Amino acid sequence: MKRVACVGEAMIELSLIGENTQVSVAGDSLNTAIYLHRTAPKLRVDYITCLGCDPFSARIFDFISQHGLGTSQIQRISDGSPGLYGITTSSEGERSFTYWRNNSAARQLFLDCDFSVLENYDAVYLSGISMAILPHAVRLALLEWLNGSAIELIFDSNFRPRLWESRQHSQEIISALWMRADIALPSIDDEMDLFSETADQVSTRFSSSAKAGALKRGEQGPLSLGSEVFHDYYSAPNVVDTTAAGDSFNGGYLGALFSGKTQAEALIVGHNLARAVVQYRGAIIPE
């Protein structure tokens, strides 16, 4: 049984729906972990993060457990608390975020630069957000550890400029992770923003360098990386909320791939899952 560790930050999510506020739990790497487990329930998928000992952290811990993810590697910090973010969506379903996460307990992850916990897994999933919340010295140490390890690395840049202290650091770390990644899951908009490239330049860069994976391009459908796949993808008939569109694609694609599906089949599974997710509000849709 393949063992996968998804590393990152789980937060309290507030969604404004008219005059009402819906409270939930989400986070990019957590969303991917949940959809990965749903797509491939026989996989062992653990979530690795830091939480506090407060009621909101307890709610997050229970949420992770209830979705079938392993929680044995979640560190509890006595004076910590989780990050919080709010989502507002336009009439076209496009999202805007407001964050309160500077003091999130997840920022204390790997502070001792001990990454030995990852040795218990066959694959590790990281995102640009997973890296952005870490101090730069920890990022560099984690990158050095990964370069000396045979563990399978899955990476999605998921670029959020405000989380990084400088564009230079974000470009340096993300470029290095693309070189190391065994499975690359970039989003075309993020890469265009981060590296000031056109869509064609991003597509060419990943087509020529990625070992395997998919370049996410929204309703246009994914571009296969590592092998040629030609397929027509259907767009969602009713886009309500694009939150977790990329995360759900990642989970569906990886779940199918790790279950023995072909690249072509995995791309379809990922796209169709994302297509379903954008027709609901919030990051995690009903099973």
pLDDT the model gives residue 242: 83
CB 177 within 8 A of CB 150: no
Q: 3-277, what's its fold? A: UDP-N-acetylmuramoyl-L-alanine:D-glutamate ligase (3.40.1190)
pLDDT the model gives residue 93: 60
CB 60 within 8 A of CB 25: yes
Choice among 28, 190, 241, 247 that is catalytic: 247
In whole angstroms, what is the distance from residue 177 CA to residue 137 CA?
Answer: 15
Query: Is 182 a known active-site residue?
Result: no
pLDDT in tens, the chain (287 residues): 899 999 999 999 887 777 778 888 989 999 999 999 999 999 999 999 999 999 999 999 999 999 999 999 999 999 999 999 887 777 766 667 788 888 899 999 999 999 999 999 999 999 999 999 999 999 999 999 999 999 999 999 999 999 999 999 999 999 999 999 999 999 999 999 999 999 999 999 999 998 999 999 998 999 999 999 988 899 899 888 788 999 999 999 999 999 999 999 999 999 999 999 999 887 889 98
Tell me the domain boundaries of the chain.
3-277
pLDDT the model gives residue 94: 67
pTM value > 0.85: yes
Q: What share of the chain is helix, strand, coil (3-state, %, to 5)?
A: 40, 20, 40
